[in-house]
Amino acid sequence: MAGPRTRAVDRRPPGRRRASHSLDAVLTAAVELLDEAGDSALTFRALAARLGTGVGSIYWYVTSKDDLLDRATDHVLAGVLTAVEGQPGTDDPIADLRVMAVTLFDAIVDRPWLAAYFMRNTDVQGNSLLLYEKLGQQTLRLDLTPKERFHAVSAIVGVVVGTAADLGQDPPEEVVSGAVDRAEFLARYAATWRAADPDQFPFVSQIADEFAGHDDREQFLAALDLTLAGLRLQAGGEVGQPGHE
């Protein structure tokens, strides 16, 4: 069953004239600004200009920029929650967890600003709490203690959000400017690693070629699968089979 989508709490001062736009319009415009240039671009002045209204009218719906960021995050996560709820389940809860985790990861990679605000304030972010609940419900199908379930979901969220946030960081200026492409940038570091003393840096020397040609999403999936393999072992190792892409 689909979970309820959250709505903003009405905290309008008595007597304030109703704004001419809707909460959905405010949050949609806020997300547009965030997508274009990150949280530094989201100011009440810029948002009011995007909406064609006055700054004061935005306070009809939100109390501060932090409140706006939390609600904009939850606005986007409503779509992620819908996608997760629409995924067919299987007999393997760990495979289902993997699909949910990848869906959330892809959403954050598409919108790197989400990583900083995901589950920051679940009093406001009802959809993020529901996503967390959906992940956790899969662990209820496993033979785990409450503490093990909590640690498992925390680890999965950490891999998803942490890796997506890392990938969402601005690339070096020389890559942004086009002076070098990503492959050239990585090759430069790989060359330095290959030249390192293999007696002092045996690991770095061995993985230099892998680093030079690595795929970020493949690396995330490997980290997720390692986490889920540990969960499978903890749950007894007999639940379904791991999913792969």
Chain segment 84-103, per-residue pLDDT in tens: 999 998 999 999 999 999 99
Rg, Å, the chain Cα set: 22
Q: Which of helix, strand or coil describes residue 236?
A: coil
Cα torsion 127, 131, 137, 139: sign:
negative
How many Cβ atoms are within 10 Å of 54's Cβ, its own excluded? 12
Give the range of the structural domain holding residue 41, as residue numbers without chain letter. Answer: 23-170+215-234
Q: In this model, does residue 20 exceed pLDDT 80?
A: no
Q: In this model, does residue 106 exceed pLDDT 80?
A: yes
Q: Please return the burial class of 33, using the count of CB atoms within 10 Å of its CB with bins 0-12, 13-18 and 19+.
A: buried
How many Cβ atoms are within 10 Å of 188's Cβ, its own excluded? 12
> Are 166 and 181 members of one domain?
no
How far is the first Cα of the chain from the last one, in angstroms, to the nearest whole number? Answer: 27
Q: How far apart are CA 237 and CA 245, in angstroms?
A: 20
> Are 118 and 73 members of one domain?
yes
4 band by pLDDT with thresholds 50, 70 and 90 = very low
- Tally of domains within the chain: 2
Give domain status of residue 156, yes or no. yes
> Are 221 and 193 members of one domain?
no
> Are 59 and 151 members of one domain?
yes
Which residues have CB under 8 Å from 116's CB, separation 6+?
Answer: 39, 165
CB 122 within 8 A of CB 113: no
> Are 86 and 134 members of one domain?
yes
Residues 128-134: what's their mean pLDDT?
A: 95
> Are 107 and 150 members of one domain?
yes
> Are 206 and 222 members of one domain?
no
Give domain status of residue 136, yes or no. yes
> Are 91 and 71 members of one domain?
yes
Q: In this model, does residue 169 exceed pLDDT 90?
A: no
The reported pLDDT for the residue numbered 215 is 87
Give domain status of residue 239, yes or no. no
Residues, the chain, total? 245
> Are 158 and 109 members of one domain?
yes
Which tens digits make up the pLDDT trace of 151-161?
Answer: 999 999 999 99
> Are 88 and 42 members of one domain?
yes
> Are 185 and 226 members of one domain?
no
> Are 110 and 187 members of one domain?
no
Give domain status of residue 13, yes or no. no
C-alpha angle 228-155-206 in degrees, rounded to nearest 5: 70
Give domain status of residue 162, yes or no. yes
132: left (phi over 0), alpha (psi -120 to 50) or beta: alpha
Q: In this model, does residue 148 exceed pLDDT 50?
A: yes
- Which CATH number covers residue 91? 1.10.357.10
Give domain status of residue 160, yes or no. yes
